[in-house]
Amino acid sequence: MTIASAAIHPWIGVAVILGAFVLLFAGVAVYARAGGPPEITRKLVHAGSGILTLAFPFLFRDAWPVLLLTGASAALIAAIKFMPALRRRFGGAVSGVDRSTLGELYFPVSVALVFWLTRGAHPLLFVIPILVLTLADATCALVGGRYGTIRYEGASKSLEGSIAFVVVAFFCIHVPLLLWTDLGRAETLLISSTLALLVMLLEGSAWRGLDNLFIPIGGYFLLRAYVTFDAPQLAARLAVTLTLVASIVVMRRRTTLEDDSLVAGAFLCYIAWAIMGWRWLVAPIVVFVGYKWLSPPTPDNSRRMHDVPAVLSVWAGALAWLTLAHGTHDDALLLPYTIVFASHLAIFGLSRLAYQFRDRSLTVLFSRAVAASWIIVMVPFVVTTSPGASDIAAAVSIVAIALGAAAFVGVCDIRDAPQTTRRWVYQAGAAGIASLASWLILVAVRRSWP
């Protein structure tokens, strides 16, 4: 899909957009000082700015005018947000809500990135992600704030807001595709339904305003892929997406993950499946199930305490191997990818056992956690992969898992590991060490394999 834009002189376009933005901001600031609700004023700026940016593909061919405009708006918002004098005068328009968020700054950044990615392509690839961010996200916040009664645990979001998001996002995607492309009606419906649900997962898993980055950028990459698929391929993706959404509903009261982190994990599982196939879902699923087998069933262990940073810690190393495998087409990298999850399971299990059984030998608990994690994760790995060097490497990868768990024990008090960002960084690093060790084992086995 390509189309030439009817671009005008860039400086005229910059002047028009900048003037419109200043008028919008000034009007909202007046409304805020007159007593307008903070959430309403923020969303007026959000929606108004989004509508203005929809003109970018038609006004500009080069990236520099967009970078200039988004940079200027980001600088203005940052000044108002962080400079007391400006904040007192204009802060009601962008920072009146009582929560920590940088969403206002992420918005222009995401617009610039999506424009950069879509230069020379059909404007649809820019318009749809920004339209979803502009209308669906704003509607979600307003409906959730006004009518939200079923709140997500661990996030300032609600089921009612998510439903509103999906409905509005569907039409933001479906109508442009129907009117602006030659895609069939079945393909258009499938793309709109699947993308609306997936972007809703992105919105539900974001925190501190990161949905303003996740929605347009994630929406762009998904849309770019979907417009090349036929109806059966799109139907398969819709089926997987519906399965993930149903799993969230069923499991939300049976897991230690908070709602936003459960949604984040489901979306990452979809990415793993979409990029590399079903075998890359085995490790995260068995860890999700196997966690309870290693964690003593006490009320304290059963409460929902793991947030999005915890999920990102588990997936950080896995995403690196997933990306490398996608780029190199090397399916053998499934082993270090899997070891990331096995190592995290060993660390989680050891920390739980060490906390619960303080009078028991740490060596005994360490051995139990490592051995159980190896069995829980690596047995399914061997069963679902073809016989070869990877299976032999998997057989001795218990050494790598033990190395990862030992690395974590060396930097954290394993009997009282707090749920902090520092802990998740250390744990991600320890799992990364384990996966690198397993990769070295794999390389060694490959060289000796006939």
If asked whether residues 52 and 89 sit together in one domain, one would say yes
- Tens of pLDDT, residue by residue over 414-428, are 888 888 888 999 999
Task: Give yes or no for a contact between 344 and 433, defined as CB atoms under 8 angstroms apart.
Answer: no
Q: Give the residue, 75 or 449, on which the prediction is more confident.
A: 75
Range of the domain at 422: 273-448
Q: Which of 79, 105, 89, 76 is nearest to 32 (CA)?
A: 89
Are both 218 and 340 inside the same structural domain?
A: no
User: Is the domain of 219 the same as that of 280?
Assistant: no
Same domain, 234 and 378: no
What pLDDT score was predicted for residue 215? 85
Tell me how far apart the terminal alpha carbons of the chain are, to the nearest angstrom. Answer: 48
Query: Per the structure, how many domains does the chain have?
Result: 2
CA proximity to 365, closest of 407, 396, 409: 409
To the question of pTM greater than 0.85 for the whole model, the response is no
CB 296 within 8 A of CB 352: yes
Within 10 angstroms of residue 12's Cβ, the number of other Cβ atoms is 11
pLDDT of residue 5: 46
The answer to whether residue 5 sits within a structural domain is no
What DSSP designation does 119 have? T
Cα 195 from Cα 111, distance rounded (Å): 19
Q: Tell me what pLDDT residue 398 has.
A: 92
| Alpha carbons 329 and 184: distance in angstroms, whole number | 32
Pair (196, 166) in one structural domain: yes
Whether 260 maps to a domain, the answer reads no
At 207 the pLDDT is 64
Q: Looking at the structure, do residues 390 and 279 belong to the same domain, yes or no?
A: yes
The pair of structure tokens assigned to 323 is 């990306």
219 and 305 co-located in one domain: no
**Do 369 and 405 touch, CB atoms closer than 8 A?**
yes
Judge whether residue 432 has pLDDT over 80: yes
Q: What is the pLDDT of residue 156?
A: 66
SS3 157: coil
Is the pLDDT score of 411 beyond 70? yes
| Residue 443 included in any domain | yes
Q: Which of 22-36, 265-279, 378-392 has the lowest mean pLDDT?
A: 22-36
Same domain for 86 and 227, yes or no, is: yes
Single residue among 188, 216, 251 that ends a domain in this structure: 251
* Amino acid found at 28: V
The residue from 251, 281, 309 where one domain ends is: 251
Are residues 195 and 305 both part of a single domain?
no
Domain end residue (candidates: 190, 217, 251): 251
pLDDT at 79 over 60: yes
